[in-house]
Amino acid sequence: KAGVTQTPRYLIKTRGQQVTLSCSPISGHRSVSWYQQTPGQGLQFLFEYFSETQRNKGNFPGRFSGRQFSNSRSEMNVSTLELGDSALYLCASSLGGIDSTDTQYFGPGTRLTVL
């Protein structure tokens, strides 16, 4: 079974630009979650999509948005990029049931650098 894939793997942008990141979940997984990882900050939850609907949202500004398509693939968009948005963006897929053991399977991440 293929794992979670993310594209692109690396991205360099300048302040003020916008960026779109893509995530393809494991086949059969209906939930996709996005996380921002910076040194010393761990993984900060951005949002979760389940069956094309945003089911949960973290404490990030409205510049961060996402969507999920009918095939469960998901995209994350960041508008008006700031230097502080430089981070590793990870997506994780899961079956998505309201289940305490709903294990997250992470993709390799997209390394975004904002200059």
What is the contact surface with other proteins in residues (CB under 8 A)? 4, 33, 35, 40-45, 48, 55-56, 58, 90, 92, 98, 100-109
The span from the CA of 90 to the CA of 6, in Å, is 8
**Least distance (Å) between residue 20 CB and other proteins:** 20
If the CB atoms of residues 48 and 85 are measured against other proteins, the closer one turns out to be 48
The span from the CA of 95 to the CA of 102, in Å, is 7
DSSP symbol at 32: E
**Least distance (Å) between residue 15 CB and other proteins:** 26
If the CB atoms of residues 81 and 93 are measured against other proteins, the closer one turns out to be 93
**Least distance (Å) between residue 110 CB and other proteins:** 11
**Least distance (Å) between residue 56 CB and other proteins:** 5
If the CB atoms of residues 78 and 89 are measured against other proteins, the closer one turns out to be 89
If the CB atoms of residues 22 and 79 are measured against other proteins, the closer one turns out to be 22
State the burial class of residue 42 (Cβ atoms within 10 Å of its Cβ: 0-12, 13-18, 19+): exposed
Looking at the chain, which runs of residues are DSSP E strands? 5-7, 10-13, 19-24, 31-38, 42-50, 53-57, 64-68, 74-78, 87-94, 105-106, 110-114
